[in-house]
Chain A
Amino acid sequence: MPDGEGAPRAAAGRRAPAEKRVRIKVIGIGGAGVNAIDRLVQDGFDQVGLLAINTDSQALTNCMVADKLQIGDRITHGLGAGGDPDVGRQAAIEDAEAIEEAVRGYDLIFIAAGLGGGTGTGASPVIAKAARAQGALVLALVTLPFVYEGKPRERVAQGGLAALQDAADAVICIANDKLYDLAGEEASVQQGFAPTDAFLSGGVRKIWRMLTFTGLINIDFADLRAVLRRRGGETLIGFGDGAGSDKVARAIEGAFGSPLLSDPEVLRRAECALVAVTHGPDFKMSQYGEMMKTVNEKLGPQAACKLGPIVDEDCQDQVSLLIIASTGKPIESAASRSGRTLDGAIQTSSLNPTAPSHAFARGKGKFQQGVLNLNEVSRGAFEGADRTVVDGEDLDLPTFIRRNVQLRQR
């Protein structure tokens, strides 16, 4: 398994010192949300706080997560919200104090939920709001119902999504149909749901790793916040792993084949992106270059990118690629306050000053810039025309970039 973030491995990697570590909690809300964090437990991922919240006491009992919170007992008598988001919302409001207690003292809170039902749809916005009020950055990973579940459920889900978008810093939203497409027509119902859980738990684990391991160029919490706290737009995430001789191609295929990044049009509108590449010490610069070239091409010309290569000793002959992008506009005040905006062209201020760039300098003089500037690499005038590819090189990309020629004015 190419994943390097399983519990035993993680201990061997280069971890940030304890006091710098970002405090993270993952909260699964409602049936689908609880299933997703169950999956995290199954995968042996226990580096972060996990909490299962539901109105249905029986579903909670069956769940493997140690930390559980049953809400709205007085309204539902432990029988679930019956598909009514109002009940879900009331239930969360009723147990506001317990929720507040549960979300206190965290830097980053993930909310995993399936929209369209009662608890996930109704309670999630309330919980997100409470978490934000406690100072956490709130990232919600939610799924939309299958089309066959009908229009009413779809409307409920859309209402919940809107409320959640108001309440959370960022919402990553995937339609179940898309995930099901990925699983293939022949997948059984249970297999059909498995990708949902895998997607939610995979996203959480990859982000955790990105924040926890110190990379050659460090992507830190402030960078994540800069991407997530934006005005409007969509938040996109994709990840892929690869091992062996074709690991680069596999990781790229996985990341850009994932349901949120598979639409090239949306990707092209991305305003900013975090690109984390976790690889073993044997990873070659040429492979890194190949990966970045593809990422370059897929993202729009205006996207400001921050790249973070992370070396994990245990990832011998493996590579994993995580891309988080947003099509939203920057929030001026928040950006200037954090002083780490990713907006606009390459800015050295978006570089972590403590992050060493000498690691690149060692690579035969290649990639000497601390951060590769992906934001302006564009097909521009050649949009709509066939690419000019000679011996595997895309000649539409500027020669000076492909040849790594340094300019004075950049």
Chain B
Amino acid sequence: MSWIPSLVNLFRRDADYLVGLDVGTSRIKVAVGQERPDGALSMIGRHMTESEGIRKGEVQDQKRACDAIARALREAEENFHIGMELVELAITGAHIAAETHTGHVGVRGEGGEVNDADVQAAKDSASSCAQLGSDRTMIHVVQCGFDLDGGLPLVNPVGHLGNSLKAEVHCIHGHQGRVRNLPNCLCSKVGANVEVNEVVFSGLASALAVLEPEDKQMGAIVIDLGGGITEYVVYRNGAPRLSGTLAVGGEHMVNDLMVGLGIRQRNKARKLLHEAGGVMVEPEDRGREVVFSRDEILGARQQVYFLDDIHRILHERMDETLRIIRDRIFARNASGFDGVTVFLTGGCARLKGMVTLAQSIFDLQAKTGIPTGFEGQEDLRSPEMATAVGLVKYAHAQRLAATKRKRGMPNLIGRILED
């Protein structure tokens, strides 16, 4: 019955679909959306499969990763009866780093009125401060804001009068070779026959998915706790100012459980993490046991684990992970974080006690980050879908910007990541 999707495709314009592909260490997540005639984003659905060949968010075994990606895309096409041509791809890895830079230019627009060229020159001047090594490549230059002659911050200075224009940009960059590894898995030889439209840093995509404009304005820390790696992005005054990765994730917790409890099978430790996982050691855990039969089919000998041991092992891991991230974020500027909210996304955000733990470590309000800003498809509103949904929203925003530009509304392309 493989002709059905292709037949259906005759009546659908594939380019209308917006596809987000998040190739994680544990799972591959595909989110599919569509732009409605009124311009709003409507989500069609999600597809999730086991991932292979990925370690700490990066390709470790290209063959297995390619196969797993091709399978995930094929299944998604069949599920939704669509054909995919273009995908947005999330990228992560320990090699990704970011800084915020500022640049100044003299206004050259007629009569001291800032024009597009001035804005671009200011941004270029700021991003050139990044001074990447020869083995680095820029992934994003996100414009954070402008000011004219030291005045109030401006989102869009075009048309304002002044002498000196200052631009602030957040530059996210990665290792030249390692940035290409994942996109390479999607080229034609995979058989998936899709093209990567853009690669987007996973942390940024997650933030796009869960943050409302007011969250960005008030300040937000988005921490995406994935299977192999954790990404974080800090928004202040409407724009990302700091981001990074820490190559610790759910697989570390699985490994910790294996070591701590003497579990030999990885799958069993994963199951234990899903079914009994929690990162706070509660008084009522004491004496409680988790019973696992060694061989579920044969019903052979049972193995008993203490719930407080499980929670203690996981608590130590997440406590450490969040503390490292907190220290990195607060190292720059420990004060002025009042009113900032911590959003937890990624599969590990669903672990019991995560919000409580994050709240106590950051001493800030914390919540689970749920993708928003679209209609339909409730199953996409879960923290582990944040990156994939964020990619779809990114593609949508980009398309909107392109449309507006066509209609003669200038200078919005750079603002995609702002609101």
Interface positions of A (Cβ within 8 A of B): 345, 376-378, 380-382, 384-386, 388, 390, 395-396, 398-401, 403, 405, 407-410
Of chain A, the residue at the smallest CB distance from B229 is: A388
How many residues of chain B have a CB within 8 Å of chain A?
31
Residue B252 lies at the interface, judged by CB distance under 8 Å to chain A: yes
Q: Per-residue 0/1 for B290-313: is the Cβ within 8 Å of any A Cβ (1 yes, 0 no)?
A: 000000000000000110110011
Q: Are A395 and B259 in contact (CB under 8 A)?
A: no
Given A395-B248, A399-B316, are A378 and B259 also a contact pair (CB < 8 Å)? Answer: yes
**Which residues from 242 to 294 on chain B have a C-beta closer than 8 Å to any C-beta of chain A?**
246-248, 251-252, 254-256, 258-262, 266
Assess the B309–A407 pair: CB atoms within 8 A: yes
The answer to whether A380 and B255 touch across the interface, beta carbons within 8 angstroms, is yes
Q: Decide: A377 near B312, CB < 8 A? Known: A382-B55, A388-B56, A409-B306.
A: no
A378's closest neighbor in chain B, by CB?
B259
Contact of B56 among A380, A382, A399, A409 (CB under 8 A): A382
Looking across the interface, which residue of chain A has its beta carbon closest to that of B261?
A: A409
B94 close to chain A: CB less than 8 A: yes
B320 lies within 8 A of A398 (CB): no
A407 & B252 in contact (Cβ 8 Å cutoff): no
Given A381-B55, A384-B60, A388-B56, also A409-B309 (CB < 8 A): yes
Q: Which residues of chain A are within 8 angstroms of B215 by Cβ–Cβ distance?
A: none
What are 6 of the A-B contact pairs (CB < 8 Å)? A376-B259, A377-B259, A381-B255, A385-B228, A409-B260, A410-B262
List, in ascending order, chain B residues with CB within 8 A of A386's CB. Answer: 56, 94, 247
Residues of chain A with a CB closer than 8 A to B266's CB: 380-381
Interface residues of B in 311-348 (CB under 8 A from A): 312-313, 316-317, 319-320, 324
Q: State the B residues within 8 Å of A (CB).
A: 55-56, 58, 60, 94, 228, 246-248, 251-252, 254-256, 258-262, 266, 305-306, 308-309, 312-313, 316-317, 319-320, 324
Instruction: Specify the main secondary structure of chain B where it touches its partner.
Output: helix
Q: Could you say which residues of chain B place their CB within 8 Å of the CB of A409?
A: 260-262, 305-306, 309
- Which residue of B is nearest A344, CB measured? B262
Asked whether, in the complex, the Cβ of B258 is within 8 Å of the Cβ of A380, the reply is yes
- From known contacts A385-B60, A386-B94, A408-B309, infer whether A399 and B259 are also in contact, taking CB-CB under 8 Å: no
Do residues B251 and A381 form an inter-chain contact, with CB atoms below 8 A? yes
* 7 closest residue pairs by CB, A with B: A385-B55, A398-B256, A399-B316, A388-B247, A400-B316, A399-B317, A399-B320
User: Beyond A380-B259, A405-B316, A409-B260: 20 further Cβ-contacts under 8 Å?
Assistant: A376-B262, A377-B259, A381-B251, A382-B55, A382-B251, A382-B255, A385-B58, A386-B56, A386-B247, A388-B247, A390-B324, A395-B246, A395-B248, A398-B252, A398-B317, A399-B313, A400-B256, A403-B320, A407-B309, A409-B306
Please state if A398 and B260 are interface contacts (CB–CB under 8 Å). Answer: yes
Chain A residues with CB under 8 Å of B317's CB are 398-400
* Contact of A388 with B262 at beta-carbon distance under 8 Å, contacts A378-B255, A408-B308 already known: no
